[in-house]
C-alpha cells in the first residue's frame, strides 16, 4: 500500500511502514509545510496514496466534498509516536487493507477502530 504521512506525524513512521512492506513518503519530502489539507488530499488522490494523519480536518473535508478518494487513516490518540502505536497501526492497515484500497476513512485509537466507507453521506 502507498501511504503519505502527514506533517503532524513523525518522519520515523516512514521506516516503520517501509519495514512492514508499504511504500511510504512523508509530506515534508514532497511538499511545503503550510499547504492546505485540500492540496495534500488532491496530491494523494492523484498519486494513489492513503493519507496517514493525526489531523481531524481530513475527515471533515472528505465528508463536505463527498469524495470517494483518497482514503485516510486518522490517529486519535494524544501520543502518536511509532514506538507506542506501531503494532496497532500495522494491525489496522492489515485488517482494513481492502477498505483502504476502495476508499475509507478509518479512525484509530487504542481501544477501537472505526471505518467509514467513502463517500461519507
- Who's near 66: CB < 8 A, 6+ residues apart? 119, 120, 121
pLDDT at 92: 96
pLDDT in tens, 58-110: 999 999 999 999 999 999 999 999 999 999 999 999 999 999 999 999 999 98
| Domain architecture of the chain: domains with CATH | 2-117 (3.40.50)
Chain segment 44-72, per-residue pLDDT in tens: 999 999 999 999 999 999 999 999 999 99
Rounding to the nearest 10 degrees, give the CA dihedral for residues 4, 7, 12, 17: -20
Q: What whole-number distance in Å separates Cα of residue 74 and Cα of residue 69?
A: 14
Global pTM reads: 0.96
Top-confidence residue, 34 or 19: 19
pLDDT of residue 82: 96
pLDDT at 121: 78
pLDDT for the residue 110: 87
Amino acid at each position: 500500500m502507498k501511504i503519505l504521512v502527514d506533517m503532524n506525524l513523525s518522519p520515523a513512521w516512514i521506516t516503520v511502514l517501509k519495514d512492514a512492506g508499504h511504500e511510504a513518503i512523508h509530506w515534508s519530502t514532497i511538499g511545503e509545510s503550510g499547504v492546505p489539507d485540500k492540496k495534500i488530499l488532491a496530491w494523494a488522490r492523484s498519486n494513489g496514496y492513503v493519507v496517514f494523519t493525526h489531523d481531524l480536518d481530513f475527515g471533515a473535508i472528505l465528508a463536505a466534498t463527498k469524495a470517494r478518494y483518497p482514503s485516510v487513516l486518522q490517529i486519535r490518540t494524544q501520543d502518536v509516536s511509532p514506538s507506542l502505536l506501531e503494532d496497532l497501526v500495522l494491525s489496522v492497515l492489515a485488517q482494513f487493507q481492502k477498505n483502504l484500497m476502495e476508499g475509507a476513512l478509518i479512525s484509530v485509537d487504542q481501544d477501537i477502530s472505526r471505518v467509514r466507507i467513502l463517500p461519507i453521506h
